[in-house]
Structure 1
Amino acid sequence: MNINKHISEINRNGFSIIENVFTKKECDQYIVKCEKVLQLLLSKKKINTISTEAQAIDNPFQYDDFFFKQVYFKKIDNLLKKLLDENYVLINSNLINRRKFNHPNIKTSLARTAEWHTDSRYLGGKRLGKGLSFIVYIALEDFSKENGATCYIPKTHLITKIPKRHGRYKHKILNLKKGNMIIFDSGLWHKGGEPTHKSRWSIFNYYGPWWMKPYYLFDKMLGEEKINSLNKNIKKMLHCYSTPPKSSWERISTIVTPDGEKY
């Protein structure tokens, strides 16, 4: 993989596509797992992120260890280290299907990604500069206008204004082939496309610098036993080596190595 090429494309356009990250067989295996977890959540009425127009499953590895494989991608590790730094971490991880879907337990049609937004951070009414954090999508099915593919506004990662949620902007459709990955600057203006009854499962990961807060407390979510069973790359992604100490008596540095030594 040509890392410098992808960095140049991200800096210039706000995104870069990496082809054939997953095989068709791997995508199909993922989709079976996605649908299985969705049915589990529906049966338990754990549906706070699931609507009739988008089914989002936060941190699916809490339900099935299979999904730990999406936490850390060796193929893009060096790219993310260059874009962020060596100690980059996972901020959030989702499975998302932007489709029309009805079920007796679903009571809302609202979709949290249906309006124009960024996934960056704001201070004083302005977005912080480009390159603060990055979104990684993997299309488990082809993305097109026919199945609610993501809409985006080119080069908006270069401006600091806040998009109007319901604004009418000239935009493009993010067409992706099954198994392809896209990495885009979290400051790029985007939203979910118009949903149809066609399926459009995707992996959606958010990566940032070690000092950025995760959306959830992964150690509390998974428990000590599960955390300790994970390999060091996944533990690093889940902030195990970048969580602040409770006091300076424990240690002074925030960042530690996998064996507990200070950087």
Structure 2
Amino acid sequence: MEQRTGLYHNTPYQHTPTIYDRIQIGKGTTILPGKKDPAVAHLIDHVLEHGYVILPNLFTPTEVSAANAELARLEALESSGPASQGGRNPFEGFQTKRIYALVDKSRVFDTFAINETVMKLNDYFLQPNFLMTSFHTVNIGPGSKAQEIHTDDGLIALPRPRPLMGIGTMVAIDDFTAENGATTLIPGSHLWDDERNPKREEMIPAIMPAGSMVYFLNTLWHSGGANTSQTWRRSMTVQYCQPWIRPYENFTVAMGWEDLDQVPQRLMRLMGFSTHDFMGYVDGRSPRAGVEMRKKRLIEWAFKEKEKGKMSKL
């Protein structure tokens, strides 16, 4: 019997789990459970019941110190993007600084995105080959108001109970306290149906020391907290999504960037050179602006390589 293989790969196609494997959690969320590693079974059970779990001291003081120093350096650079100097809308937070696309900024941050405990949790809640959908900082300044209460799948117009689309995490680079803007969440709200509306008084702060993480389903109601202290509160958010939340063809890579100005705007949007609210951004900007940023950097790199070549011949 002929064995089917994936495009340009020698591995067999994975059989997609059927709808009969799906389980419903309360009235709000359905999941296709994956491997339940015994090492994280108790954490999985906590997430199933409460919608989140705090992972204390997940990262070492050395890792946190290195991240803090690198973030301080990046915040001083114009190349870190416009949001690095302050939010541009109420959702970002006008007194909140964000540095997007951390994978493009420094290798210091890699360890925060691929932590073994988090990967094992994702192996249960998400399907194989899950993706990272967002990785950026959230630096909440003194005087910041509480963020709008939201779910991270709020842009996906599907009724509850709905399939779990992804996972959110917040990594504390500074201690999270009730006063300095710790992430607030409503335990158990991943179980709610569409008739239940969140209230601010139902929220609790995710109080945890630097180096810790709060891990939560993206059907959980949460928000950034108000910062009533006199200091900034640094953190990073790493968000993951199901492997099928992307198009079959990666048009933004397949399309030659030198020809973009010749492409009809409608077609550009269909190919993904566009955003849907916050979805699809490049370094906090539109994909089209991101291309121009990348082209500029490539030109600068080419000049540097040319100069290196000249120097090596002397």
Tell me the TM-score normalised to structure 1 length.
Answer: 0.69
Deviation at 1:15, TM superposition (A): 0.7
Secondary structure of the corresponding residue to residue 126 of structure 1: coil
Using the TM superposition, give the Cα deviation of residue 45 of structure 1 relative to its aligned residue in structure 2, in angstroms: 6.7
CA contact (8 A) 1:126 1:162 kept: no
Q: Which residue of 2 aligns with 1:46?
A: 82
On the 8 A contact 2:55/2:212 being kept in 1, the answer is yes
1:199-210 → structure 2 map (5 Å cutoff): 199-210=232-243
Identity between Structure 1 and Structure 2 (%): 22
Q: Secondary structure at the match of 2:151?
A: coil
Structure 1: distance between partners of 2:148 and 2:155: 17
Report the alpha carbon displacement of residue 80 of structure 1 after superposing the two structures with TM. 0.8
Larger Rg: 2
Task: Tell me what 1:215 maps to.
Answer: 280
**Contact 2:167 2:240 survives alignment (8 Å):** yes
Q: What letter matches 1:59 in structure 2?
A: A
- Alpha-carbon offset, residue 123 of structure 1: 5.3
Paired with 1:163 and 1:191, the residues of 2 have a C-alpha distance of 17
**Structure 1 residue 10: deviation in Å?**
0.5
The structure-2 alpha-carbon separation of the partners of 1:25 and 1:45, relative to structure 1 and needing over 3 Å to count, comes to closer
Alignment partners' CA distance in 1, 2:84 and 2:105: 16
- Correspondent of 1:91 among 133, 137, 142: 133
What residue is the counterpart of 1:175 in the other structure? 207
Find 2:226's aligned residue among 194, 201, 212: 194
Q: 1:3 aligns with which of 40, 50, 54?
A: 40
SS of structure 1 residue aligned to 2:124: helix
CA contact (8 A) 1:130 1:187 kept: no
Name which of 153, 167, 170 aligns with 1:120: 153
Aligned match of 2:60 in 12, 17, 23? Answer: 23
Q: How many residues align?
A: 214
Work out the CA distance in 2 between the residues paired with 1:93 and 1:18.
18
- By how many angstroms is 1:217 displaced? 6.5
* Cα distance, 1:64–1:131 mapped onto 2, change above 3 Å: same
Q: Which residue of 1 aligns with 2:169?
A: 136
Extract unaligned runs of 5+ from structure 2. 1-37, 88-93, 247-278, 295-314
Residue in 1 that maps onto 2:188: 155
1:64-83 CA distance string (max 9 Å, x none) = 23333333223322221111
Structure with greater proportional helix content: 2
Q: CA RMSD in A?
A: 3.3
Q: Kindly provide the amino acid, as one letter, of the partner of residue 243 in structure 2.
A: W
Contact 1:126 1:161 in 2 (8 A): yes
Taking the aligned partners of 2:157 and 2:165, their CA distance within structure 1 comes to: 16
Structure 1 distance, partners of 2:110, 2:149, is: 29
